[in-house]
Amino acid sequence: LHLHPVSSEATADDAQEVTERFGGRATLGMVSAFATDHDGELLLLNYGGGTVVRAVPDHAVVPLAPSLSGTSMPQTPPPGSGEPAAAVALVWLSRAEGIAAVSYAVERVRDGAVIERQVVAGPTLTLSSSSGDCFRVRGRSSDGLSGPPSNTLCPSHE
């Protein structure tokens, strides 16, 4: 899925029939609901059949999740803004195993939703940060496919 940078509308660019990869109709049945777990993996619920199926990334196709760390840097707030301004310097490390990341998608997350995504080449980035902002990073393959997200970093704004 790809999220539109302004509207956040999701679109699929490579729709594929994958029922058999998940164990066929006997396992999936009628999907009642879906969600993501804390690692960003897709969970499918077959309420009638009493099963939950977890979709895991194929690390021969997409990079493993990087390890993210960061440092908060207080900034002088704009006059009259009433909110402390801050920046965060993000640094991430790719894992040696699996397919190599050729770029990275840095996501700003607020209230559980991705509100901004930037694609960068290197393993560092400094961004402005507001109260409630969290960040995570995904490695991207040479085909432009994103892997699972890193740990989430929520800088303090005290």
In sequence order, which residues have a C-beta less than 8 Å from that of residue 154 and are 6 or more positions away? Answer: 133, 134, 135
29 shares its domain with 76: no
Domain count, the chain: 2
- Residue 8, pLDDT > 80, answer no
Asked which of 35, 55, 75 is the last residue of a domain, the reply is 55
What per-residue confidence (pLDDT) applies to 157?
65
If asked whether residues 83 and 112 sit together in one domain, one would say: yes
Domain that holds residue 135: 67-149
CATH of the domain at 73: 2.60.40
Report the C-alpha gap between 90 and 77 in whole angstroms.
20
Q: Residue ranges of the alpha helices (H) in 1-158?
A: 24-28
Residue 157 inside a domain? The answer is no
- Flag whether 134 is in a domain: yes
| SS3 label, residue 138 | strand
86 pLDDT above the threshold of 80 = yes
Residue 98 lies in a domain: yes
Residues 135 and 89 in one domain: yes
